[in-house]
Chain A
Amino acid sequence: MGMPMKIRAGLKDGVTEVKILMQHEMETGLRKDAEGKPIPAWFITDVLAQYKGKTVLDAQFGQSISKNPYLLFRFKGGAVGEKVNVSWVDNKGDKRSDDGVIA
């Protein structure tokens, strides 16, 4: 089970802006530890954002995304008090799903 995400969603002029901060190491697989052993790749591969069961963003990540990935996007619609659900899966099969309430 991954660490919780921070999700901020705000409605303005009929458009919902979503900011997501995920907590993940995003290891490239190219670094070595203090003993010179390679650190295995460990990174988020898929992110899915949904509003009322409808996909509002579908992202795929590679090793070049920074540690603790940040995303900002906007979709038309949304209503104050409703939830935006964000879920991710990493290359080891770990998952996380969190909700952000639209303000």
Chain B
Amino acid sequence: MNVEVNLDRRNALKAGGGLGLMALFGAVGLLSSKAALAEWNKTAFSAKTMDEALAAMGVSTAESNAIFIQLTVPEIAENGSIVPVSVTSTFPNVEQISIFVDKNPSVLAAQFNIPAGTESMVTTRVKMGQTANVVALIKADGKFYRTAKEVKVTAGGCGG
């Protein structure tokens, strides 16, 4: 991914002249608000197993902790296509919250970067193809913590 981006930049510069540079500055201007933020992690979002996803996110160890992470999911989901998931953490300095479904074809559902001033809490809805564990991963003070809960799915959300 980075290599492609660099090549594009290089080509833009090579094209030379005012036009190439203006195009480059134009693009930078448009993306400036997003540029400082993390790029979509294709490897992690394509990962088929928890281990692959964690490796792609640079997580070597994630301590289990069900006290400082509150993961709220239904015990039974009659409709696997809309499963509400809420994650709240009472760790100080939470930088990131990620949600996984360990038996989905792509395990990583979402990753939230939490800026200072935003509460370490997020609620969303995920699809679940079958009964599986929903895993919440928290990054706080540079360390990773996780907890998981099983959701029994009676009708899958990835059919067709």
Question: Would you list which residues of chain B between 16 and 54 have a CB under 8 Å from chain A?
Answer: 33-34, 37-38, 40-41, 45
Q: Is the CB of B113 within 8 A of A65?
A: no
Q: Which residues of B contact A66 (CB under 8 A)?
A: 81-83, 124-127, 157
Any A CB within 8 A of the CB of B110 = yes
For B38, give its contact among A32, A39, A60 (CB under 8 Å).
A60
Q: Is the CB of B110 within 8 A of A59?
A: yes
Report how far A76 CA is from B114 CA in the complex, Å.
Answer: 12
Q: Which residues of A contact B38 (CB under 8 A)?
A: 58, 60
Q: Is the CB of B109 within 8 A of A75?
A: no
Any A CB within 8 A of the CB of B92 = no
For B33, give its contact among A48, A59, A70 (CB under 8 Å).
A48
Q: Is the CB of A64 within 8 A of B109?
A: yes
Q: Which residues of A contact B110 (CB under 8 A)?
A: 59-62, 64-65
Query: For chains A and B in complex, what number of residue pairs have CB atoms within 8 angstroms?
Result: 120
User: Per-residue 0/1 for A30-54: is the Cβ within 8 Å of any B Cβ (1 yes, 0 no)?
Assistant: 1110000001000001101010011
Report how far A74 CA is from B121 CA in the complex, Å.
Answer: 7
Q: Which residues of B contact A15 (CB under 8 A)?
A: 119
Report how far A53 CA is from B34 CA in the complex, Å.
Answer: 11
Report how far A26 CA is from B122 CA in the complex, Å.
Answer: 19
Secondary structure call for the A interface:
strand
Report how far A17 CA is from B60 CA in the complex, Å.
Answer: 33
Q: A74-B118, A75-B119 are in contact. Are A65 and B125 (CB under 8 A)?
A: yes
Question: Would you list which residues of chain B between 98 and 134 have a CB under 8 Å from chain A?
Answer: 101, 104-115, 117-119, 121-128
Chain B proximity of A87: nearest CB distance (Å): 9
Nearest A residue to B99 via CB reads: A64
Chain B proximity of A45: nearest CB distance (Å): 5
Report how far A25 CA is from B121 CA in the complex, Å.
Answer: 25
Q: Is the CB of A62 within 8 A of B45?
A: yes
Chain B proximity of A99: nearest CB distance (Å): 15
For A67, give its contact among B40, B81, B124 (CB under 8 Å).
B81
Report how far A96 CA is from B160 CA in the complex, Å.
Answer: 28
Q: Is the CB of B158 within 8 A of A70?
A: no
Q: Which residues of B contact A57 (CB under 8 A)?
A: 112-115, 118, 122
Q: CB within 8 Å of B: which residues of A?
A: 15, 26, 28, 30-32, 39, 45-46, 48, 50, 53-67, 69-77
